[in-house]
Amino acid sequence: MNLAFAHHLDFRQSAAERKPGATGIHSAGENIALHLEAEADAFYFLAPLKNLCSPAAAARILLYPKLTREKYYGWAEPSLSRGYGRQLAHKLEHCSAQAVLCTEVKHAAFLKTDRPLAVWTDSLYGGLFDYYQTFSGLCRRTRRDLQKMDRAAVKNCARLIFASDWAAQRAIELYGATEEQVKVVPYGANLTSGFSRADAEKLAAGKQFDGTCRLLFTGVEWKRKGGDTAIRAVEILNAQGIQTEITFLGTDPAKHMPNVPAFAKSAGFLSLAKPDERAKMEQLYREAHFLIQPCRAECFGHIFPEANSFALPAIASNTGGIPTAVHEGINGYCLDVENAPAYAEKIAALFSNPTGYRALSLRAFDDYSARLSWPQAAKQVMKILSGL
C-alpha cells in the first residue's frame, strides 16, 4: 500500500537540525513514521508544515494572552488547522498515496482530499477537558475551537485510530463517531531494551528478593502522575518491614514536598538523545522490581510498554487509557490512584513470592513483544488502512 504521512516536523531531518523544542528520535510521531514506512510499499512524508493563519487569528494569538488571564491556546485556532489542511492538500497533488495518516487532530480536521484519511492519536481534544490539568480551565474560545477541530476530524476521517479503548469510547460519546469508524491500536515503546526472550529470562532469574525492593517512578508531572501516592505506598511498605526505595525519573521530589524521605531518590530528567543518559535509564529499568505509576490522568502511557520491554511489571492506576496498556495479571495491575495501601499490599505480595514475580515479569515481556511494540502496532494500522 502507498501511504502518505502528515506531520508538522520533517522526521527525515536529524533532531539536531530541527527547530528548538522539536522532539528527538524516540518521539511517538517519529516511531510511527519509521515503522509505517517499513510496512508500506511506498511512503510519502507530507512535511514539514508552516504555521499559516488568517490575520484575525494572528492578532488573537498575539493579543489574547495579554488581554485575559484565562487559559488560551493560540495553536488551537482553527485558522491554523485550515492552513495545515491547505498545505497537505497541495503536497498530496504530487504523490500517489492511496491513503493519508495524521497523528494529530489539527492536521486532519480540515484536509480536503479524495484519498481516505485517518488519524492515529491518543485522544481527541474534548476527551482531555477537565481531565488533564493542561486542558482544565480553558477559556471559552479555546474550548470551542478545540471542539470545532474534533468535530471536523470525526466528519473528515474514514478511520479514527486510538491508542486506548477509553479514547475510542470518548470519541463515540462526545462526537457520535461510529463503531466502524473507530479502531484501537495501542502505542509502542519509545525506549526499548532490545532483549531477546532469553535475556528477559536471565534478568528475571537474577532479581534478588532478600534485600531492598526497588521501585521506579517515571514522569515530569508530579501531581498528574501520582507522585504523592507513590511516596505514601513506600512509607507503608517500609513501616511493614519491607525495605523499599523509590527512584524518580523525570522529576525531583524535593520540588514537590518540604521533607524528602531517605528512601526517595531522584535521577532527574534524562534524555534519550544522550547516550550516557539513555544508558542510565536502561540501568534503572533493569534494576527495578516494579514500575509504580499511580496516575490521576493518562491517555495511554508509553512508559508501560517501555517497562515491559525490560520484563518490568507495572503497578498503575485504573484511569483513562491505562487499562488498555496494563492488563490485569499479565503485565501488571491497575489500582485506584488514591489507595496507597492497595499499592503497598500488591507490591508486598508479589515481592514476597519470587516465583510468582518472575512469572509475571516474563508475561510482561511476552505481552510487550506480542501487543505493545511499534512493529506490531504498525502492522495493525496498515491492515486497517488497507481495508479502506
Is pLDDT at 377 greater than 70 in this prediction?
A: yes
201 CB neighbour count, 10 Å cutoff: 16
Residue 15's pLDDT band (cuts 50, 70, 90): low
Question: Packing angle between helix 340-351 and helix 227-239, nearest 10 degrees?
Answer: 50
3-state secondary structure of 271: coil
pLDDT digits 0-9 by tens, 103-155: 999 999 999 999 999 999 999 999 999 999 999 999 999 999 999 999 999 99
The single-letter code of the amino acid at 56 is A
Q: Write down the pLDDT at residue 21.
A: 40
Torsion of CA 196, 197, 199, 204, to 10 degrees: 150
Contact assessment for residue 258 and residue 226, using Cβ atoms and an 8 Å cutoff: no
pLDDT digits (tens, 9 = 90+) for 283-319: 999 999 999 999 999 999 999 999 999 999 999 999 9
The per-residue pLDDT for 357 is 98
Give the torsion through C-alpha atoms of 80, 85, 90, 96, to 10 deg.
150
Q: What mean pLDDT is predicted for residues 179-192?
A: 95
Q: If you count DSSP H runs as helices and E runs as strands, how many of each does the chain have, helices first?
A: 15, 12
With a pLDDT cut of 90, the percent of the chain lying above it is 91
**Across 317-329, average pLDDT:** 98
**Per-residue model confidence (pLDDT) at position 25:** 36
Q: Kindly report the pTM of this predicted structure.
A: 0.94
Is residue 234 within 8 A of residue 257, CB to CB? The reply is no
User: How does 303-318 read in b/e, with b if 16+ C-beta sit within 10 Å?
Assistant: bbbbbbbbbbbbbbbb
Q: What element of type H or E holds 224?
A: helix 222-225
Q: How confident is the model at residue 180 (pLDDT cuts 50, 70, 90)?
A: very high
Are 280 and 289 contacting, i.e. CB atoms less than 8 angstroms apart?
Answer: no
C-alpha cell recorded at residue 33? 513514521
Q: Quick check: do 2-188+374-386 and 197-371 share a fold?
A: yes
Distance CA 352, CA 344 (A): 12
pLDDT band for position 12 (50/70/90)?
A: confident
Q: Are 20 and 60 in contact (CB under 8 A)?
A: no
Instruction: Calculate the average pLDDT of the chain.
Output: 94
User: Across residues 82-91, what is the average pLDDT?
Assistant: 97
Residue corresponding to grid cell 509502542: 188
CATH number at 197-371: 3.40.50.2000
Q: Where are the domains of the chain?
A: 2-188+374-386, 197-371
Structure confidence at residue 69 (pLDDT): 84
Determine what percent of the chain is predicted with pLDDT higher than 70: 96
Cell numbers 514522569 correspond to 219
Pick the CATH number of 2-188+374-386 from 3.30.1360.70, 3.40.50.2000, 3.40.190.10, 3.40.1440.10: 3.40.50.2000
Q: How much is the average pLDDT of 259-287? A: 95
Handedness of CA 126, 229, 280, 321 (dihedral sign): negative
Q: Which of 34, 176, 240, 3 is nearest to 101 (CA)?
A: 3
Q: How confident is the model at residue 258 (pLDDT cuts 50, 70, 90)?
A: very high
